[in-house]
Amino acid sequence: MHQCRYIAVEGAIGVGKTSLVKLLAEEMNARCVLENIQNNPFLPDFYRDPRKYAFQTQIFFLVNRYIQHSEIQQQDLFNQVTICDYLFEKDRIFANLTLDQNEIALYDQIFELFIKRVSRPDLVIYLQARPRVLLERIRKRGIAYERNISTRYLEKLSEAYNEYFFHYDDSPLLVVDTSEINFVQHSDDFEALKKEIRAMKRGKQYFRPLGSSR
């Protein structure tokens, strides 16, 4: 873990990305980069009517993620360990789920311009959880516009994430099943995860802990 200068944490909504990033940043005295999802003015409308507001929502996210990454790189990405709660490339997962053919064509033109200028992480941590567990966690945090999120949507999203990371090989990848652990409330879960991160080398590794509880 000490050799990584740039770590990205990924996973579907409700899986615990931001919580893990904050814990790791404190542990490693690292720069913590969090995406301000609630800053997207189209997001509440998207969850109410995905088809109508998908393109505006996706382009807003894409542009703002690029701006944020550009600012990080200007601050010297390698001067301090940086831990981010999203992988820039994952934006395409949502685009493929929500946009129609013409929208995807335009989106891809913008995406390809941006991706050439974005740094690649030294390590990607992909957090998984069963859709039912994700829904439970989303309900617990009680964000108003997330009430319309359905189990079916989370199933489709989880399938898309799994498919994407099954083929992912741009950076070392640690896949963690979080369905039965809670690294925020249980220090043993966090310690076990840190051990896996420290042991991570090249390629892809899987960590499926029994854990203490959700």
Give domain status of residue 24, yes or no. Answer: yes
Going by DSSP bridges, is the β-strand pair 6-11/31-33 parallel, antiparallel, or unpaired? Answer: unpaired
Give domain status of residue 30, yes or no. Answer: yes
Which pLDDT belongs to residue 199? Answer: 87
Which pLDDT belongs to residue 76? Answer: 64
Indicate which CATH number applies to the domain containing 133. 3.40.50.300
Q: Show the tokens assigned to 124.
A: 């990607």
Give domain status of residue 1, yes or no. Answer: no
Give domain status of residue 212, yes or no. Answer: no
Higher pLDDT, 207 or 38: 207
Per-residue pLDDT band at 214 (split at 50, 70, 90): very low
Give domain status of residue 58, yes or no. Answer: yes
What pTM, to 2 d.p., does this model score? Answer: 0.89
Q: Show the tokens assigned to 197.
A: 């991160």
Give residue 60's Cα distance to chain centre: 16
Count of CB atoms within 10 A of residue 204's CB?
16
Q: Domain tally for the chain?
A: 1
The position carrying tokens 């050799």 is: 3
Name the DSSP class of 110.
Answer: H
> Which structural domain range is residue 37 located in?
6-207
- Give the separation between CA 138 and CA 122, rounded to whole angstroms: 29
Give domain status of residue 33, yes or no. Answer: yes
User: CA of 81: how far to CAs of 72, 108, 197, in Å?
Assistant: 11, 30, 14
Give domain status of residue 213, yes or no. Answer: no
**Average pLDDT of the residues in 1-16:** 84
Higher pLDDT, 182 or 73: 182
Q: Show the tokens assigned to 1.
A: 């873990």
- Tell me which of 26-35, 187-196, 204-213 is least confident: 204-213
Give domain status of residue 214, yes or no. Answer: no
Count of CB atoms within 10 A of residue 34's CB?
15
Which pLDDT belongs to residue 2? Answer: 47
* Nearest in space to 146 (alpha carbons), one of 134, 160, 133: 134
Q: Show the tokens assigned to 17.
A: 């990305």
Decide if pLDDT at 77 tops 60: no
Find the angle CA(140)-CA(86)-CA(108) to the nearest 5 degrees: 120
pLDDT > 70 fraction of the chain, expressed in percent and rounded:
94
pLDDT per residue over 91-114, tens digit each? Answer: 899 899 899 999 999 999 999 999
Phi/psi of residue 36, nearest 5 degrees = -90, 80
